[in-house]
Chains A and B, each alone.
Chain A
């Protein structure tokens, strides 16, 4: 199965990279852009055919390595 993990800083945690990108977009004329967040997408193949079981495995990977849940939240897509 293919897994895709989206990792973003939690709401409320200052995303300075997002802020810099937002400022740059404003500079290019897109004045109404706001709340830019820069995250990370991690994709991989993983064994298994049971979607729920694979999701549980990927969640364990997120909690152990792929995200730091002190500052980041994540969203998993499996299929």
Chain B
């Protein structure tokens, strides 16, 4: 099993993601610099980590979405490689057009950093199958622009297609329909504001994040 964590200038959860994936799955993890023009061969999972890529200039994730390596990430995602964007990674996936919608500034204008309960809205995805029907999991969030927005038509489509994967039990930021994470229509690209990489062993308060990485790689 092989995973890659993409490192952008300003990523700050890249090491967390690598450790989380390694410890929870035993997969070999390679760090890939954003200027690279090729991904390692035989990848089973690509992780876009949290952080403040390019200092959040212009819009969160806007610059990173145009990084050289993103051409390869988009091609791999379109080939069906499991790809997960966490926090800033979610913003990058939206900016890159791999996921619908966008992330706005939090409704309360505050950066919100805390453990949070999530409803597993769709447990039939390759990322959530390991929850085996559990309805609620715990992870943490840490973001200032995590307020998911999609227009009414897009929202109806993703709701109808089961693309809403996680919802907040208590909405922390004004996200439309309490959405915390969504998947693409191909079922292989997941974007989520909560951090599974900060919840991969009990000492961190929750090991629910580990199950997500295990599921992603079990289905590879």
A residues engaging B (CB < 8 A)?
9, 13-14, 16-17, 20, 65-66, 68, 70-71
7 nearest CB pairs, A to B: A70-B102, A71-B102, A16-B105, A16-B109, A68-B102, A68-B59, A20-B109
When distances are taken between beta carbons in the complex, the residues of chain B under 8 Å from A70 are 94, 100-102, 149-151
**In contact, A13 and B59 (Cβ under 8 angstroms):** no
When distances are taken between beta carbons in the complex, the residues of chain B under 8 Å from A17 are 105, 109
Write the nearest CB–CB distance from B177 to chain A, whole angstroms: 14
Chain B contact surface mostly: loop
**In contact, B107 and A71 (Cβ under 8 angstroms):** no
B residues engaging A (CB < 8 A)?
58-59, 62, 66, 94-95, 100-102, 104-109, 147, 149-151, 174
**In contact, A13 and B109 (Cβ under 8 angstroms):** no
Write the nearest CB–CB distance from A75 to chain B, whole angstroms: 17
A20–B100 alpha-carbon span in the complex (Å): 28
A70–B62 alpha-carbon span in the complex (Å): 13
A17–B59 alpha-carbon span in the complex (Å): 14
Asked if A71 meets B104 with Cβ closer than 8 Å, knowing A17-B109, A65-B66, the reply is yes
Asked if A66 meets B58 with Cβ closer than 8 Å, knowing A16-B105, A16-B109, A71-B102, the reply is yes
Write the nearest CB–CB distance from B65 to chain A, whole angstroms: 9
With both beta carbons as reference points, the residue of chain A lying nearest to B150 in the complex is identified as A70
When distances are taken between beta carbons in the complex, the residues of chain A under 8 Å from B109 are 16-17, 20
Write the nearest CB–CB distance from B90 to chain A, whole angstroms: 14
A68–B61 alpha-carbon span in the complex (Å): 11
A66–B62 alpha-carbon span in the complex (Å): 9
